[in-house]
Structure 1
Amino acid sequence: MLRPHDLIWINNAQSLTTQDTMPEWVTQQWRTSLPLVVRRDVQDGGRIPVGIRGMKRSQRAAGWVDEQSVVRCVTPESLIADPIALLQSSFVSLPPVQVLIMLMQTPWPWVWGVTGSCGYALATDIPVMHTDSDLDLVLRCPQKTTAEELAHFAERIAQVQLPCRTDVQVETPTRGFCSDRMATR
């Protein structure tokens, strides 16, 4: 089952459609060797809502793909499953990856993973992340989670002097929401 923030690859570029005209940068830059980001929206008859990412921060577009064209999926959780892979990543010296390594040393009560430019870079080895990049995380909370539990998580993160801003998206069975910015430089 695909969830928001999963990165997916498709085998048929014609399966990718947008509600309006496809932006010119998409036709120039995007190809099936690049992932799409599953986004939160209504599925349209087996079509998966996705985000298309360009090389510039301003290049983002919403689209849909046919479910049967998905050939690969990388979850935010899988990107942090192997600490050795993170340590061997070409991005290990960048602050967002340093924070991931620090956070991995603490057992958390939730399944969590990395999204945003850091997740995209780790999944593709494309250098879209830089020294000033934020770290975007997703917490998957399949059971009811109290505001107190989330506040405790935020407090523990705030106790550490993180080298980059860290934003957290909380996913529950019924919705997703952005937590307040957890920490700043």
Structure 2
Amino acid sequence: MKKLYVLSLLFAVSGAAVAQDTIYRCGNEYTNNVAQAKAKGCKPVDSSGVTVIHGTRASGGSSAGSAVAPAKPKPASGTAPSSPAPVRSDNAAQKARDSDARAILQSEMNKAQARLSELKAEYNDGNPVRTALELRNPQGYPERVAKIKADLARQESDVAGIKRELDRLPGGN
């Protein structure tokens, strides 16, 4: 009885593995539609590294066997592709967004400057205070000094970058 159960279970699992469709790659698109793959000259993909996620189909009239939505038609030669007009927002809304961006950048600037002053105090003009561990292991001191120096340079660069971003924003300095 147990052998029959194991045999039937093994048969069911092997049947499920065979039932998986072959996936074809057509450039950057993938499909499991054999007719579409042959028409485009697609190559089969080794399915050992492919995970198929079943979900809702993309709208736009894709065929039932297609794994991807069809490509949008290209404009005829000699015509420029049309793009939607940029959305105009009213002046008050834009000023509010600029004000919010300035406030966020200003808070980031304050944090960055506070961190920079902490690092400068710790660096102590290239002579940081030695810790107890560094007194026992002198090799750790130059490594820590180099790390603090690199952190200091990175923080100065961050502050300069935030200043540039603040200067780019319209509406006051």
Q: Under a length normalisation based on structure 2, what TM-score does the superposition of the two structures give?
A: 0.17
The structure whose residues are more often helix, as a share, is: 2
Q: Under a length normalisation based on structure 1, what TM-score does the superposition of the two structures give?
A: 0.16
The structure whose residues are more often strand, as a share, is: 1
